Amino acid sequence: MSTEIHVAIIGAGVIGLAAAREIAGRGKGVFVFEKSRTYGLETSSRNSEVIHAGLYYPEDSLKAKFCVGGKTLLYKLCEKHNIPFKKSGKIVVAVDENEIAWLDRLHEQGRKNGVEDLRRLSQKELKKLEPNIEARAGLLSPSSGILDSHTLLKFLYSQAREKGAEFVFDTEIVGLERTGEKYRVEIKDREGISAVISQVVINSAGLNSDRIAQLVGMDIGEARYKLNYCKGEYFSLDSKYRNLVRRLIYPVPEQAGHGIHWKQGLDGRVLLGPSAYYVEAIDYAVDETHKQYFYNSAKRFLPFVELEDLTPESAGIRPKLQSPGEGFRDFVIAHEEKAGFPGLINLIGIESPGLTAAPAIARYVSNMVAEFFH
């Protein structure tokens, strides 16, 4: 006989943790299965730790809605629970004349998404705010900021546990099958393979989330759930660069990422990144030969940067629905009732702004669960 549970969450990244906290808080029995030895070792701890304002995404998209909503919730959470953060503000810069039209588009998009506090900056205004930045114009986003994502993850984990969620580490989901009204969730741990029966399954398996959908029998080609891996590397800058720039500085966005930006973290260290290029396999090594590319990108608006001051730092991998060259793809956050899987909630393609959006996504998913049990 297999153990019966209410809700199985697959993956203890920021999405699984935030969802566990919300759902356990509503009195449902929650088990979180995580293949690694602890929470948050994948994408949730390999990112820029930026609280995004919500400029980049089409209005009415889930990315826009949950970024703007998540930002407010996240700042409140950080303030209330002493999670280190800084509302530093951010400036997107146009380096040449052609990029100015981009700033206007971003400004307009941000406004449509409900980001009310954006301000266009002339070259003179930009110089006044950030004397060390070289650019033709800027777009100031006062509500962007940075946070300590590790403390956030720890907080979500502790609160989820306090509310009654159970965490099962070193345990990989290797099978998922609909049996009657429920799901048979097959797990692999040190002792071998066993199973639990769950009424609800939340697939927040990050880079593996498309494969989990496939395990249950969904046609991920037809559903357009197949993920691509898009790597983002960071280089750090020598400590002499500290405090030369006060805000986050971003170039105009690239096709697959937000562009190589400047960030001085809460620990004072300055990072450049992340790059964005598609890879076949998950590998977090930083390729040192990419240093020149980082230097060239940064030099455009940070003229004081010297090549020898860049050191390879870290990397993360985006779970991207968008294939190379494809247009915008939104988060998939779906109760798969219509596809014949009532009680299965898929979260696929939760790339940036997933960290910012996590608290809002968790509420949304928790409401889906409440509706299911109603």
Ligand X SMILES: Cc1cc2nc3c(=O)[nH]c(=O)nc-3n(C[C@H](O)[C@H](O)[C@H](O)COP(=O)(O)OP(=O)(O)OC[C@H]3O[C@@H](n4cnc5c(N)ncnc54)[C@H](O)[C@@H]3O)c2cc1C
DSSP classification of residue 21: H
Closest CA to 103 of 115, 88, 121: 121
In the bound state with ligand X, the residue whose beta carbon lies nearer, of 15 and 121, is: 15
In the bound state with ligand X, the residue whose beta carbon lies nearer, of 94 and 230, is: 230
Pairing of strands 182-189, 172-179: antiparallel
User: Which positions touch ligand X (CB under 6 A)?
Assistant: 10-16, 33-36, 41-44, 46-50, 52, 172-173, 204-208, 232, 274, 316-318, 350-356
List C-alpha distances in Å: 42 to 34, 192, 198, 199, 207.
11, 24, 25, 27, 9
> Considering the complex, what minimum distance in angstroms separates the CB of residue 133 from ligand X?
20
In the bound state with ligand X, the residue whose beta carbon lies nearer, of 199 and 314, is: 314
> Considering the complex, what minimum distance in angstroms separates the CB of residue 179 from ligand X?
19
> Considering the complex, what minimum distance in angstroms separates the CB of residue 288 from ligand X?
18
> Considering the complex, what minimum distance in angstroms separates the CB of residue 182 from ligand X?
19
Amino acid letter, residue 229: Y
> Considering the complex, what minimum distance in angstroms separates the CB of residue 11 from ligand X?
3
DSSP classification of residue 27: T
In the bound state with ligand X, the residue whose beta carbon lies nearer, of 64 and 317, is: 317
| Structural tokens at position 319 | 């779970």
Count CA atoms within 13 Å of residue 232 on its CB side: 24
Label residue 224 left, alpha or beta by phi (over 0 means left) and psi (-120 to 50 means alpha): left
Burial class (CB in 10 A: 0-12, 13-18, 19+), 259: middle
In the bound state with ligand X, the residue whose beta carbon lies nearer, of 280 and 308, is: 280
List C-alpha distances in Å: 169 to 33, 40, 173, 193.
6, 11, 11, 14
> Considering the complex, what minimum distance in angstroms separates the CB of residue 181 from ligand X?
23
In the bound state with ligand X, the residue whose beta carbon lies nearer, of 182 and 258, is: 258
DSSP classification of residue 13: S
Report yes or no: 136 and 123 within 8 Å, Cβ to Cβ.
Answer: yes
In the bound state with ligand X, the residue whose beta carbon lies nearer, of 121 and 173, is: 173
Burial class (CB in 10 A: 0-12, 13-18, 19+), 164: middle
Task: Return the bridge partners of 228, or none.
Answer: 320
Rounded distance, CA 179 to CA 212, Å?
16
> Considering the complex, what minimum distance in angstroms separates the CB of residue 346 from ligand X?
11
Label residue 320 left, alpha or beta by phi (over 0 means left) and psi (-120 to 50 means alpha): beta
> Considering the complex, what minimum distance in angstroms separates the CB of residue 333 from ligand X?
11
Report yes or no: 235 and 271 within 8 Å, Cβ to Cβ.
Answer: yes
List C-alpha distances in Å: 68 to 53, 59, 118, 128.
6, 11, 13, 28
In the bound state with ligand X, the residue whose beta carbon lies nearer, of 100 and 351, is: 351
In the bound state with ligand X, the residue whose beta carbon lies nearer, of 49 and 336, is: 49
> Considering the complex, what minimum distance in angstroms separates the CB of residue 23 from ligand X?
15
Rounded distance, CA 226 to CA 370, Å?
28
> Considering the complex, what minimum distance in angstroms separates the CB of residue 366 from ligand X?
15
In the bound state with ligand X, the residue whose beta carbon lies nearer, of 32 and 103, is: 32
